[in-house]
C-alpha cells in the first residue's frame, strides 16, 4: 500500500465524526424510551454524567467560582455549551446553556437526557467536598427556553419540602 493511501486510511479511522453519530443517537433515544421508560433513562443518564465527572475531575479547586471557570473550559473544549453559577440566599443554581442534547437526542428526550449534566455537576461538587446532604437537582422553569437547563444545589430537606408540598 502506498504512503498516501495509508495516511488517508489513518485519518479516516482517527478523526472525529461528530455529525455522523447524530442520526444514531436520535434513533437510539427513541428505542431506549420505548423499551426502558423515562424514569430509568433519567437515572441512567445521571449515572453517566457522574461517571464522566469522575473521569474528568476538576482538580484542586476550592470555590464554586473556580468550578465555573474549569467547567467553562471543559464544556467549550467538548462543544457541550456553557455554565453560569448563580448564588441565591438559600441555594446555588447551575445554569447550563447551549446544550447539544436536543441535537443529539431530539427535543422529546430533554426530560431524561438533561440528567447527564445533573450527574456531571453533582460529581464535580462532590470533588469540592460537598456531602450527601447537599444535593444538585434539575429544576424546571416554564418561562425558560429548552436550551437553558437549570440545576439547583441545596440542602436535601429543601427538595423534600418541595416534593411534599
Spatial contact of 105 and 26, defined as CB atoms under 8 Å apart: yes
97 DSSP β-pair partners:
82, 148
Partnered with residue 151 across adjacent β-strands are 94, 138
pLDDT tens for 105-151 read 998 899 999 999 999 999 999 999 998 889 999 998 666 556 699 99
pTM here is 0.83
Report the range out of 14-18, 29-33, 93-97, 104-108 with the highest average pLDDT.
93-97
pLDDT value of position 155: 86
Mean pLDDT of all residues in the chain? 87
Rg, Å, the chain Cα set: 18
If you search the block for the grid coordinates 436536543, which residue do you land on? 102
On the question of pLDDT at 4 being above 60, the answer is: no
Amino acid at each position: 500500500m502506498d504512503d498516501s493511501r495509508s495516511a488517508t486510511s489513518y485519518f479516516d479511522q482517527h478523526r472525529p465524526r461528530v455529525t455522523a453519530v447524530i442520526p444514531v443517537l436520535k434513533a437510539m433515544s427513541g428505542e431506549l424510551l420505548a423499551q426502558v421508560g423515562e424514569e430509568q433513562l433519567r437515572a441512567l443518564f445521571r449515572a453517566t454524567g457522574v461517571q464522566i465527572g469522575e473521569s474528568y475531575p476538576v482538580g484542586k479547586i476550592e470555590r464554586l467560582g473556580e468550578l465555573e471557570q474549569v467547567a467553562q473550559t471543559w464544556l467549550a473544549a467538548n462543544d457541550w455549551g456553557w455554565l453560569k453559577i448563580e448564588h441565591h440566599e438559600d441555594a446555588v443554581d447551575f445554569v447550563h446553556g447551549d446544550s447539544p442534547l436536543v441535537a443529539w437526542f431530539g427535543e422529546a428526550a430533554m426530560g431524561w437526557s438533561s440528567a447527564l449534566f445533573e450527574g456531571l455537576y453533582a460529581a464535580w461538587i462532590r470533588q469540592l467536598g460537598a456531602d450527601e446532604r447537599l444535593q444538585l437537582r434539575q429544576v424546571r422553569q416554564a418561562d425558560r427556553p429548552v436550551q437553558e437547563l437549570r440545576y439547583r444545589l441545596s440542602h436535601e430537606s429543601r427538595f423534600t419540602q418541595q416534593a411534599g408540598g
